[in-house]
């Protein structure tokens, strides 16, 4: 397959590119290389990979391809609370630009637009797990920008006939993740003798999925040739932020008292995320490999 990837030098995108290249696909990667992008990647010299350093808001042309897989996004919630503008620009206007380019192609040349979204578009839930047709109720500017992008995708399908797939994945973790996220930040704190900062009392629950499980799920949808549908991707691996921190500390022989500092809550804090992943499992047979605890890839 010939794939156009956006954000392929970022955390999740780079793992997807690596997987697709191993499967013999050709990748053209549009990535403007922001602060959290990877400067050096193991596939940089692969003849089937080409990187074009360009912001998705500024792309004027997309080459012929089977899929445009859009990972490019601003993703850090705290940053979105402090400054919303980059999130509106990348996550909404960037998606709009890509859709407009696809719309301008003749119908037989249009690729499927595969949009990578987040479980945060649903907001939080006390005890149930969100299904794909549940209402979107984002809690912060980041998740609102991702929900807005989804609405654009749905409308371009309805109005212009553009084919799409949307995935909403739970909290990813693993190699190459920028240190502002909880797990790499915690590891950085442990390695530098600092305490891990946790919002509130650390009781907020997330479903943690290892990044390679997520990209395998994404790739399974491409291979299945399903179109015009939305899929949740999660590992049913629910842990509080406090549990994650304690698990990481114990890996280094440290205690909760030694290594955790509670800090004021984030504005608009979501209490619990949870996804029902029945749909993707029935559609492609995908199952996560890592289903319990944190996969300690750094050991």
pLDDT in tens, 270-287: 999 999 999 999 999 999
Q: What is the mean pLDDT of the chain?
A: 96
119 is catalytic: yes
Per-residue pLDDT tens digits for 153-190:
999 999 999 999 999 999 999 999 998 999 999 999 99
Options 30, 142, 164, 273, the catalytic residue = 142
pLDDT of 131 reads 98
Options 29, 120, 132, 207, the catalytic residue = 120
Helix (H, G, I), strand (E, B) or coil at 10: coil
Q: Where are the domains of the chain?
A: 2-175+209-236+274-284
How many CA within 13 A on the CB side of residue 87? 19
Query: Under CATH, what is the fold of the domain 2-175+209-236+274-284?
Result: Rossmann fold (3.40.50)
pLDDT of 267 reads 87
142 is catalytic: yes
pLDDT of 30 reads 98
289 is catalytic: no
d(CA 237, CA 210): 10
Residue 289 exposed, middle or buried by CB count within 10 Å (0-12, 13-18, 19+): exposed
| Strands 49-52 vs 26-30: parallel, antiparallel or unpaired | parallel
Structure tokens at 31: 């990535």
**Whether pLDDT at 127 is above 90:** no
Options 74, 119, 132, 207, the catalytic residue = 119
- Give me the percent of the chain exceeding a pLDDT of 90: 94
pLDDT band at 129 (very low <50, low <70, confident <90, very high): very high
């Amino acid at each position: 397959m010939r794939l156009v990837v956006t954000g392929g030098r970022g955390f999740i995108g780079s793992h997807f590119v690596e997987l697709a290249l191993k499967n013999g696909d050709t990748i053209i990667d549009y990535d403007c290389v922001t602060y959290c992008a990877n400067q050096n990647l193991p596939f940089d010299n692969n003849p089937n990979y080409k990187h074009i350093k360009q912001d998705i808001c500024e792309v004027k042309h997309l080459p012929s391809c089977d899929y445009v897989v859009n990972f490019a996004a601003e993703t850090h919630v705290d940053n979105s609370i402090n400054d919303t503008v980059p999130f509106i620009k990348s996550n909404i206007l960037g998606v709009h630009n890509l859709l407009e380019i696809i719309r301008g192609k003749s119908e037989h040349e249009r690729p499927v637009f595969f949009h990578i979204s987040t479980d945060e578009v649903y907001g939080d839930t006390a005890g149930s797990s969100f299904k794909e047709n549940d209402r979107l109720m984002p809690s912060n500017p980041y998740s609102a920008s991702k929900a807005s992008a989804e609405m654009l995708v749905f409308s371009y399908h309805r109005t212009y006939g553009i084919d799409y797939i949307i995935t909403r994945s739970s909290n990813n973790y693993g190699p190459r993740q920028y240190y502002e996220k909880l797990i790499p930040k915690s590891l950085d704190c442990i390695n530098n003798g600092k305490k891990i900062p946790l919002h509130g009392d650390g009781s907020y629950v997330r479903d943690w999925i290892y990044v390679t499980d997520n990209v395998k799920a994404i790739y399974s949808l491409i291979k299945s040739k399903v179109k015009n549908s939305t899929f949740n991707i999660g590992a049913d691996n629910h842990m509080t932020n406090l549990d994650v921190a304690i698990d990481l500390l114990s890996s280094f022989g440290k205690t909760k008292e030694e290594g955790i500092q509670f800090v004021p809550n984030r504005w608009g804090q979501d209490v619990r995320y949870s996804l029902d992943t029945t749909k993707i499992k029935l559609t492609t047979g995908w199952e996560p490999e890592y289903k319990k605890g944190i996969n300690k890839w750094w050991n």
